[in-house]
Amino acid sequence: MHFLDPILRPKSIAVVGASRQPNTIGWQILDNLLRQGFHGPVYPVNPKAAAIHSIPAYPSVKEIPGPVDLAVIVVPKEHVSAVADDCIEAGVQGIVVISAGFREVGGEGIAREQELVDKLRKAGVRMVGPNCLGIINNDPAIAMNATFAPAYPPFGPVGFVSQSGAMGASILDYAESLGIGISMFVSSGNKADVSGNDLLDYWEHDDNTQMVLMYLESFGNPAKFVEAGRRITRRKPVCVVKSGRTGAGARAAASHTGALAGTELATDALIAQAGAIRAHSVNHLFDLAMAFGNQPLPAGNNVAIVTNAGGPGIIAADACESAGLSVVPLSPETEAKLRARLPEEASVKNPVDLIASATPENYEFALNCVFEDPKIDAAIAAFVPPLGIQTKDVAAAIVRVNERHPAKPLLAVLMGRQGLPAGLAELHESRIPAYIFPESAARALAAMWRFRQHIDRPEGRHVSFDVDDAAVTRIIDATLASGQTKLSEPDALRALEAYGIPTVPWVFVPSAGASSLAARAAAAAGDLGLPVVVKVVSPEVVHKTEVGGVALNLKSKAEVERAVRDMVKRVEAAVADGADPAHREPAKGRTASVIDGVLIQEMAKGGTETIVGLTRLPRVGALIMFGLGGIYVEVMRDVVLRLAPLVDTDAEEMIREVKMFPLLAGARGDVPRDLAALADTVLRISQLAERHPRIVELDINPLLALPSGVRAVDGRIALAR
């Protein structure tokens, strides 16, 4: 038995706070339970009434003669705790707290919620809410509507969890009119105990539920969301509307990863990593639900479009192509079949244009023809009502085609002329996803195709690398012991090397020494091999280039010597001025000692600059970033984030998802970069994040992607104090 069974499949229900007063919440819940015909006994509890809705009422849960699985609590907030005590005493298994006035109001509401949670945890009683709309299980064998929403969505394949009660109520309302059948609905409210993640787990094994819709305002436990999402989306699609930001807030960060982590990118990351589909509006969520909830997934991405006007055909074709679908030519046989029966003016090439005189019979014939073409995986039927043709008849024709070809998805677009087109309702009732705009249909079909690819891909695997963790621990300990929270550049490079991430060959030349720094640097450069790069090493400098602390492509020892001398002067002046914008509090008065030394690095040639980073957010975890370096990260924010720990497919996806991926894959005849080595580096950073929680920020910027292998050029690592 699952811990949610007593809540979602109860055998008996008590409504505590049931009311005789119509149009109160305590009245509506009881009314809904009875109206829906809940299969077991319902016990109203109200000390002031002998009977409610003609059913005997009880003064307390403890007085109910039979066992109670679920108590729905609708009493004022001050009484919830006492009612919970009664429930525990009476052996109630689960509760739904509708009452508001808890965490959401702040102040003492927070304490009130905590007290309730603690009490229930101790007793092993699980809770949905508080501050919620209630729950529904539409399974005919249960028939439970324990909400106070005046909506009765039909039974169907969609599990729906909403963090907002009001959004939940209106979505349930629309669901019915769009033909979206609901298996279960849970208004999760404050999620003080049962969360959306628990429901993902539960619905994974519920045969009635074939897809999940989530309306979220926050991620309570992002890591668990990713984990639970990953499992259920192996078989069932999960579509998420997430409003608001991640809530974690980016720390004021010196790293690019940190600056980007608090943005929408992080939400995108969590949803993508869970294998879920992000809907950008409630409207979009419905578009997806109609398609996923009613039609099979396409076997491929070849789409046929059948229309009665050129414009919608072209718009639909463009929308399909840009969403990753393919409007392929039909086979010659299909074209010939169409040619033989359609009017001369019709275009029999995909998109098939039946022209304005198209009859319902023309639609039925043409759609059957394209579905009989083995190349075609899915079809979109678009219809603009001309004079004299009944949209409803075309809708009926579309329904007949769908019945004949149930294995291939069929989506309809009915464009209106005066308000909503007629026929839409008929299609929805017949479980044909029907849209008003071609783009919506294309977008929904493309999401189905992506999900098909997602479930066909092998599951990601955790990879673990044999690395020198002890060396990293030593570096971290030594850095913290010296009072610093930022690793020196040589130490950062050493830490990367300990993790098997190759660096461009380098040596560190310290300031302190017998001869001049410049002379020793020149000698070291000679040993390393010219040309070289010289970089300042100083705890005062974060972005070296911005203070003139990087000199590239030095070809002789003399050049190195001069570069070091100039650099020391420049950097000292800049630090004294506080000119490094990343470092707002320069150590005034410190001059000569601000520079620890210089790093001499081999001048690397011919790599593509990428960036790999990590940032640790409170309550979220470590986000790993991959992107293209230079202007792509700074200006275009062309980066992809994922939550650690990553699996191998996460790393591959991250690399493929950056917009400038063609630059890595070998655009315009260029040699492709070593994508496997990039993925390997990303996974090693994920392992570093997992095993060394004291690291809170890390940027490798740039990590050079070469045709063979990668090289870290610049490493920045910050620690928690």
Among 545, 594, 536, 524, which Cα is nearest to 563's?
536
Which residue lies nearer to ligand ADP by CB, 300 or 531? 531
CA dist 257 and 613 (Å) reads 6
Structure tokens of 592? Answer: 């000569």
Which residue lies nearer to Mg ion by CB, 686 or 701? 701
Site for ligand ADP (CB under 6 A): which residue of 196, 312, 621, 702?
702
Q: Which of residues 600-619 bind ligand ADP (CB under 6 A)?
A: 601-604, 609
User: Could you tell me if 557 and 527 are in contact, meaning their C-beta atoms sit under 8 angstroms apart?
Assistant: no
Query: Considering the complex, what minimum distance in angstroms separates the CB of residue 714 from Mg ion?
Result: 4
The number of angstroms, rounded, from the C-alpha of 584 to the middle of its chain's C-alpha atoms is 35
HEC sequence for 557-599: HHHHHHHHHHHHHHHHHHHHHCCCCCCCCCCCCCCHHHCCEEE
Which residue lies nearer to Mg ion by CB, 72 or 706? 706
Q: Which residues, in sequence order, are bridge partners of residue 712?
A: 503, 703
The b-or-e profile of 255-266 (16+ CB within 10 A means b, else e) is bbbbbbbbeebb
**Does the N-terminal peptide bond of residue 645 adopt cis geometry, omega within 30 degrees of 0?**
yes
Among 88, 117, 91, 112, which Cα is nearest to 101's?
112
Torsion of CA 153, 159, 164, 169, to 10 degrees: 0
Of ligand ADP, Mg ion, none, which one sits near residue 593, judging by CB under 5 to 8 A according to partner kind? none
Which residue lies nearer to ligand ADP by CB, 606 or 669? 606
CA dist 160 and 135 (Å) reads 10
Of ligand ADP, Mg ion, none, which one sits near residue 550, judging by CB under 5 to 8 A according to partner kind? ligand ADP
Binding mask 271-310 for Mg ion (x = CB under 5 A): ----------------------------------------
Is the sign of the CA dihedral 256, 258, 262, 268 positive or negative? positive
Residue count of the chain, please give it: 721
Which residue has the closest beta carbon to Mg ion?
714
Binding mask 533-572 for ligand ADP (x = CB under 6 A): x-x-------xxx----x-x--------------------
Size of the site for ligand ADP (CB under 6 A): 17
Q: Which of residues 676-705 bind Mg ion (CB under 5 A)?
A: 701
Of Mg ion, ligand ADP, none, which one sits near residue 265, judging by CB under 5 to 8 A according to partner kind? none
Query: Considering the complex, what minimum distance in angstroms separates the CB of residue 699 from ligand ADP?
Result: 8
Phi then psi for residue 410, to 5 deg, are: -125, 125
Q: Taking contact as CB under 5 A, which single stretch among the options 248-256, 412-420, 423-431, 708-716 is the one that binds Mg ion?
A: 708-716
The b-or-e profile of 551-585 (16+ CB within 10 A means b, else e) is beebeebebbbebbeebbebbbebbbeeebeebee
Query: Considering the complex, what minimum distance in angstroms separates the CB of residue 704 from ligand ADP?
Result: 7
- Our finding on whether 530 is near ligand ADP (CB under 6 A) is no
Of Mg ion, ligand ADP, none, which one sits near residue 230, judging by CB under 5 to 8 A according to partner kind? none
Query: Considering the complex, what minimum distance in angstroms separates the CB of residue 674 from Mg ion?
Result: 20
CA dist 224 and 235 (Å) reads 18
Which residue lies nearer to ligand ADP by CB, 543 or 637? 543
Give 219: exposed, middle or buried? Use CB within 10 Å, 0-12, 13-18, 19+: buried
- Our finding on whether 581 is near ligand ADP (CB under 6 A) is no
Is the sign of the CA dihedral 514, 516, 519, 522 positive or negative? positive
Query: Considering the complex, what minimum distance in angstroms separates the CB of residue 539 from ligand ADP?
Result: 13
Which residue lies nearer to Mg ion by CB, 139 or 714? 714
Which residue lies nearer to ligand ADP by CB, 609 or 650? 609
Which residue lies nearer to ligand ADP by CB, 83 or 614? 614
- Our finding on whether 714 is near ligand ADP (CB under 6 A) is yes
Of ligand ADP, Mg ion, none, which one sits near residue 545, judging by CB under 5 to 8 A according to partner kind? ligand ADP
Among 613, 612, 627, which Cα is nearest to 696's?
613
Among 117, 173, 143, which Cα is nearest to 38's?
143
Which residue lies nearer to Mg ion by CB, 301 or 601? 601
Structure tokens of 465? Answer: 């690398």
- Our finding on whether 714 is near Mg ion (CB under 5 A) is yes
Which residue lies nearer to ligand ADP by CB, 167 or 552? 552
Of ligand ADP, Mg ion, none, which one sits near residue 603, judging by CB under 5 to 8 A according to partner kind? ligand ADP
Residue 60's SS3 state is coil
- Our finding on whether 580 is near Mg ion (CB under 5 A) is no
Query: Considering the complex, what minimum distance in angstroms separates the CB of residue 704 from Mg ion?
Result: 11
Q: Taking contact as CB under 6 A, which single stretch among the options 257-265, 478-486, 560-568, 598-606 is the one that binds ligand ADP?
A: 598-606
Which residue lies nearer to ligand ADP by CB, 504 or 519? 504
CA dist 630 and 636 (Å) reads 10
500: left (phi over 0), alpha (psi -120 to 50) or beta: left
Q: Which of residues 150-209 bind ligand ADP (CB under 6 A)?
A: none
Q: Taking contact as CB under 5 A, which single stretch among the options 23-31, 285-293, 435-443, 707-715 is the one that binds Mg ion?
A: 707-715
Sheet holding 506-510, edge to edge: 506-510, 597-602, 532-537, 550-554
Residue with tokens 């092993």: 124
Which residue lies nearer to ligand ADP by CB, 695 or 706? 706
The number of angstroms, rounded, from the C-alpha of 660 to the middle of its chain's C-alpha atoms is 21
Which residue lies nearer to ligand ADP by CB, 33 or 700? 700
- Our finding on whether 504 is near ligand ADP (CB under 6 A) is yes
- Our finding on whether 583 is near ligand ADP (CB under 6 A) is no
Structure tokens of 583? Answer: 């470092």
- Nearby residues of 651 by Cβ (< 8 Å), 6 or more positions away: 626, 642, 678, 679, 680, 682, 683, 686
Which residue lies nearer to ligand ADP by CB, 407 or 573? 573
Query: Considering the complex, what minimum distance in angstroms separates the CB of residue 548 from ligand ADP?
Result: 10
Angle at 64 between CA 58 and CA 65, to 5 degrees: 135
| Radius of gyration of the chain, Cα coordinates, nearest whole angstrom | 32
Of Mg ion, ligand ADP, none, which one sits near residue 637, judging by CB under 5 to 8 A according to partner kind? none
Of Mg ion, ligand ADP, none, which one sits near residue 543, judging by CB under 5 to 8 A according to partner kind? ligand ADP
Please report, as ranges, the residues that interact with Mg ion according to CB under 5 A. 701, 714
Please report, as ranges, the residues that interact with ligand ADP according to CB under 6 A. 504, 533, 535, 543-545, 550, 552, 601-604, 609, 701-702, 713-714
